[in-house]
Amino acid sequence: MDEFIGGEYDVIVVGAGHAGCEAALASARLGLKTAVFCLNLDSIANLPCNPNIGGTAKGQLVREIDALGGQMGLAADATFIQSKILNRGKGPAVYSLRAQIDRRAYHSHMKWTLENQENLDVKQAEVTEILLENKKVRGVKVHTEAVYLCKAVILTTGTYLKGRIVIGKTSFSSGPDGLLPANHLSENLKELGIELVRFKTGTPARVNRRSIDFSKMVEQPGDDEITPFSFMTDEIKENQVSCYLVHTNKETHRIIEENLHRSPLYDGEIVGVGPRYCPSIEVKIVAFKDKESHQVFVEPMGLDTQEMYLQGMSTSMPMDVQIKMIQSLPGLENASIMRPAYAIEYDCINPTQLKLSLEFKELDGLFFAGQINGSSGYEEAAAQGIIAGINAAMKIKNREPLILDRSQAYIGVLIDDLVTKGTNEPYRMMTSRAEYRLWLRQDNADIRLTQLGRDIGLVGDERYGRFIKKKQQIEEEHIRLKNTILPPGEEIKSFLERHHSAKIVSGIRLYDLLKRPEIDYAHLKEIGQDAGLSREVAEQVAINIKYEGYLERQMAQIRQFKRMEKRRLPQDMNYSNIHGLSLEARQKLSSQKPESLGQASRISGVSPADISVLLVYLETQKRRS
């Protein structure tokens, strides 16, 4: 029987979660004829776990996606119901924006965006097979037997590949939220020689707001002054809801401990590896026996629903145990569970099989992004999605791929960690993973990445104009602050006394005044020396000045890092013939084929001595040639 050709595209994206949405939009906006397939159109950009965007290190990812021309930040700004900056007391290197999102509104916003994007078709179908010809992508086949031809495929299947939900002794084939799983594609990927692993994640129960006594909880309001995710958002709405904080107690812990034998995590029912940094409540109780309580945040799912999310209470315990442990919490004594907590197991790939462009090393035109690469989180998925979408387009256009390194972006750290080091558990982005986090701040994401987005073709004239204006304002204000000298006098004396700052006996530059930790940029208004700048420009000026010495040292480290990254390693290098390399290094280097000396140095099992051997070998080859 002849193939039925349902359509022909440049790029096909499989999955329309957060990675799929960014990948499809990037490809289409770069002029490629694109199709995105998902199992159910009602699950586009779904938030099956906590409906929040951002958080520690994740807020940085969202701002970087936005700076490159992505959609997540704009969608979050349009649909948030509470917003706040985390880690305000810890310094700008770890400030992270987090917003509670209206789940349904976010889905509707992103679905509408996809549907109205030029060059993009949105289709509901299960992709069952990747079609190849001479190890090169030629299309996909869907469950209706229709074939869609293309030049590149991006797999963004999330937790749907052979998804299995577990609640106590009950388990069934399912994607998140009870949606259909994708049960056929896994076998096809194995047939193509792709190594799969089995991971697990979970989500807490949702309870009815009307059954909660909030008077027994600690209210957690949003910020008074709201910071948007997108550098393009001018008007930001106000916070519309509060979240609430409670703590587990001895009774909660007793219930869990007495029922550990019924937990699928401990009775062998679950075989997938779970996330270290977002563990189930029973894992917390076992791992931290000395802790008398754990935080639980009670957070709304949206404005048009009574569902409340219990962040911190992820579990796969049986229903009767779930009810008891939830009702042991203050204010939740009469809680009515609307959706039970569950664990979900799913197939994903070993990401060390990928290039830094997120293309599979052995199959031409096949890209992977999101949780299928072993990561967790909406933001990590979206970050990979935009890079995969860009690089699929770059490949078709015969242009160099966009590869962000660890000194350019958290996105670079994320992808380098996955591809170079791999992961034996669902990977989560954290500020501690970034060596250069004082430079990779959320406030300067546009300064770091907008020009790259412009060069690629994702940043339009309006965004680019704003970027140039902001950059110019920062530079001009630095010059003004360095050239403005305040003479000693009663006004400045009084000003310094008010802020408990040291006296001056001669003139002081505004630039040097701002270096003092007790003086903020906003204080300059008291002496008529502010320039009437926007809050984001003023913030960046102040950070650059106060952390000038630290930033200079970090930039020196970055220059050293880049020297190692520039030492390219031939992809056909025979590591077995390089004398002096350890056996493990030969095996790892031959398997992963690093693209640079810097990347090789980050592979587990490759020692500094092995890197020295490679340096000598490269120099010898250079002299010979």
pLDDT, tens digit, 9 for 90 and up, residues 510-523: 999 999 999 999 99
Residues 382, 156: Cα–Cα separation, whole Å? 10
Are 345 and 166 a contacting pair, CB within 8 Å? yes
Q: How far apart are CA 57 and CA 534, in angstroms?
A: 24
pTM metric for this prediction: 0.95
Percent of the chain, pLDDT > 70?
A: 100
What percentage of residues in the chain have a pLDDT greater than 90? 86
Residue 272 confidence class, pLDDT cut points 50, 70, 90: confident
Express each pLDDT in 97-147 by its tens digit: 999 999 999 999 999 999 999 999 999 999 999 999 999 999 999 999 999
Q: Where residue 1 falls among pLDDT bands split at 50, 70, 90?
A: low
Range 567-624: architecture per CATH: Orthogonal Bundle (1.10)
Q: Would you state the pLDDT for residue 274?
A: 74
Residue 186 pLDDT exceeds 90: yes
Structure confidence at residue 579 as a pLDDT band (50, 70, 90): confident
Torsion of CA 452, 454, 458, 463, to 10 degrees: 120
Phi and psi, residue 309, nearest 5°: -100, 135
Q: Which of 38-47, 51-60, 325-334, 583-592 has the lowest mean pLDDT?
A: 583-592
Look at 275 and 136; give whichever has higher pLDDT.
136
323-367 residue pLDDT tens: 999 999 999 999 999 999 999 999 999 999 999 999 999 999 999
Please state which CATH class domain 474-551 belongs to. mainly alpha
Alpha-carbon distances of 113 from 4, 42, 75, rounded to whole Å: 29, 14, 9
Residue 123 to residue 144: CA distance in whole angstroms: 13
Please, what sign has the CA dihedral across residues 168, 170, 171, 175? negative
Give mean pLDDT, residues 580-589: 91
At the top level of CATH, the class of 206-345 is: mainly beta
Report the pLDDT averaged over residues 268-291. 83
State the pLDDT at residue 494.
Answer: 93
* Per-residue confidence (pLDDT) for residue 476, from 0 to 100: 96
Q: What pLDDT score does 230 carry?
A: 96
Strands 127-133 and 136-142 turn out to be: antiparallel
Taking the domain 4-199+346-456, which CATH number applies? Answer: 3.50.50.60
All CATH 1.10.10.1800 domain ranges of the chain, comma separated, are 474-551
CB neighbourhood size of 81 (10 A): 25
Comparing 93 with 143, which gets the higher pLDDT?
143
- The residues of the chain that CATH labels 1.10.150.570 are 567-624
Does the pLDDT of residue 621 top 90, yes or no?
Answer: no
**What local confidence, expressed as pLDDT, does residue 619 receive?**
86
Structure tokens at 416: 């380098």
* CA-closest candidate to residue 207, choices 50, 336, 51, 342: 336
Domain with CATH 2.40.30.260 in the chain: 206-345
What digits encode the pLDDT tens for the residues 588-611? 999 889 999 999 999 988 998 999
Q: For the chain, what is the radius of gyration of the CA atoms?
A: 26
Q: What residue type is assigned to position 492 of the chain?
A: I
User: What is the average pLDDT score of the chain?
Assistant: 94
What does the pLDDT average to over 186-204? 95
